[in-house]
Amino acid sequence: MQPQDASAAAAIAAIAEELAVFDDWMDRYQFIIELGRNLPRFPSAWMNEAHRVPGCQSQVWMQGAVRDGVTWLAGASDAAIVAGLIALLLRVYSGRPAVEILQTDPAWLKELGLMGALSTNRGNGLAAMVQRIRAMAAEVSASS
C-alpha cells in the first residue's frame, strides 16, 4: 500500500484528525470499516497459514516485502472492522523504511482510543498485527 502521508507521524496525526470528526465510536467504527473496504486486493494465494497472523479473533493475513530499503505491506481480514484496522496500520507503516517503522511506537493506538474502544479479543489481535509488522521491520533492519 502506497503511503498517502509523508511520514508515519504525519499519518498518525491525520488519522487522529479524521477520527476526531466523529462524535461517537459507532460513527468511528463505520469510518474504519469503510477504510477496510478500500484496501487493495489481497491475493488469495497469500491467504494461507504462512501469512496468517496468530492471536487474532478473525482471520487475518499479512505480507511484507522490501524494495530499495522501503518496507511495503499488504493485509486482509474476513471481518470488516479488522480490515479497517489493517488499513490504519498500513497507512502508518507501509512504504516506510524499517527504522521508521521501529521508531514509531504503537502507543498511538492507545492514545487515539482505538485499543480502549475494541473488545479485548480485537485489541489482542490488533497488537498481534503490530507485532508482526514490527518483526518484519526488525528482520529487515538486522539484515541491513
Amino acid at 45: A
Angle at the Cα of 122 from the Cα atoms of 86 and 126, rounded to 5 degrees: 40
Catalytic, out of 8, 35, 56, 83: 56
Q: Are 84 and 35 spatial neighbours (Cβ–Cβ below 8 Å)?
A: yes
Task: Kindly provide the residue ranges of all beta strands, DSSP E only, lying in the chain, ordered along the sequence.
Answer: 60-67, 70-77, 96-97
Q: What is the DSSP string of 33-71?
A: HHHHHTSPPPPGGG-STTTB-TT-SS-EEEEEEEETTEE
Cell 492514545 identifies what position?
Answer: 111
Q: In the annotation, is 56 catalytic?
A: yes
CA-derived radius of gyration, the chain = 14
Q: Are 93 and 107 spatial neighbours (Cβ–Cβ below 8 Å)?
A: no
| Residues forming the active site | 56
